[in-house]
Amino acid sequence: MYATCPVLTWESATAAEIHSPQSIEYEIFIDTSAGFDNPTVLLTRGKTTTVQVCDLAPDRIYYWKVKAENIVGASQWSSQVYSFVLAPEDQQHVTLKDFSLITPGFNAIVNTTHPTVYWESAARDIIKSPDDIVYRVLYSSSPNFEMSQSITIDGDVSWVELPRLQPGTICFWKVIARNKAGMEKTSLNYSALAIGDHTTGGEKEQHDLDNFVLFQNYPNPFNPWTTIRFNLAEDSEAVVTVYDIAGYAVRKLLREYKGAGEHAVVWDGIDDQGNKLCSGVYIYRLQFLDSQGNIRVSDKKMMLLK
């Protein structure tokens, strides 16, 4: 066993073994002794018949067994005690899992020549070293990825800003993950994004003649806080709101009269009710009323990672 966090799997208990199939809980014992003198005890609920174990000492033999129980009764311990050897630390590698691309969505139109793309982590285990996993982001003008170019990212960083792309073009992209043992997994999907015809690249894509600008948040991705900067061309009431990917408002960051010039607000990943939000893509929106009575709106995406 060469993973840093091995996954243990067992067969599900039958109704006869625990007298009732309702509310099953599995109890797993893990120990370096076959007699289980000082075991680590793990519990799982429901129909789950796998558990991932981390923080084990390397270069040791581990024994494990499992039983099922609920409020009615309990099964016997598994008929066999299983064992595995966690390899020396310098021989361990992160195991890979299936993963998908996140954003931009398929056929999304982006108003920058340097779009940032995001994908799920392919690491099944805890990342302890930057070379535990490497991502290669392939991008091309062809859906078959002919004549593709690539960017290599070390460590479990699941986003990258693509080099300058030509306005009015379509870019296809996918990601390949590789661990230290040379095993590879390709993202379950590939995606395509369209570069707007009138983009100029970088933060300047939103600069119009009156300097109404919403900048990309920094840092991004972030945990637990990020700064959102914006520029107003004239004095006005400004509203900054955070939405989830489904379009629901989760946090009102600002509703205040501001003078012309640059301003900033900070978001800490908490909603209006004081709840910590989960990892994912969020949208932040700037609105203000110009001197002609027109409501000006600008949106950008950001990613909260935990």
55: CB partners within 8 A, 6+ apart: none
Residue with tokens 């009269």: 257
**Alpha-helix residue ranges (DSSP H) falling in 168-213:** none
Q: Which CATH number fits domain 101-195: 1.10.1740.10, 2.60.40.10, 3.40.190.10, 3.90.700.10?
A: 2.60.40.10
Angle, vertex CA 176, rays to CA 173 and CA 177, nearest 5: 145
pLDDT tens for the chain, 306 residues long, are 445 677 888 887 765 455 555 567 888 999 999 899 888 888 777 667 888 787 777 778 899 999 888 777 778 888 888 888 776 665 666 778 899 998 888 878 787 888 889 898 888 776 666 668 899 999 998 888 988 999 998 876 788 889 888 887 889 999 999 888 788 999 999 998 888 765 544 444 444 434 778 888 888 888 888 888 888 888 888 999 999 988 889 999 999 888 888 888 889 999 999 999 999 999 999 988 877 777 788 889 999 987
CATH number, span 207-304:
2.60.40.4070
Q: Single out the residue of 165, 99, 179, 166 nearest to residue 132, CA to CA.
A: 179
Whether the domain at 7-91 and the domain at 101-195 fall into the same CATH topology: yes
| 205 token code pair | 């894509």
- The highest-level CATH class for domain 7-91 is mainly beta
Angle, vertex CA 289, rays to CA 285 and CA 291, nearest 5: 145
Residue 231 in contact with residue 261, Cβ under 8 Å?
yes
Segments making up each domain of the chain, as ranges:
7-91, 101-195, 207-304
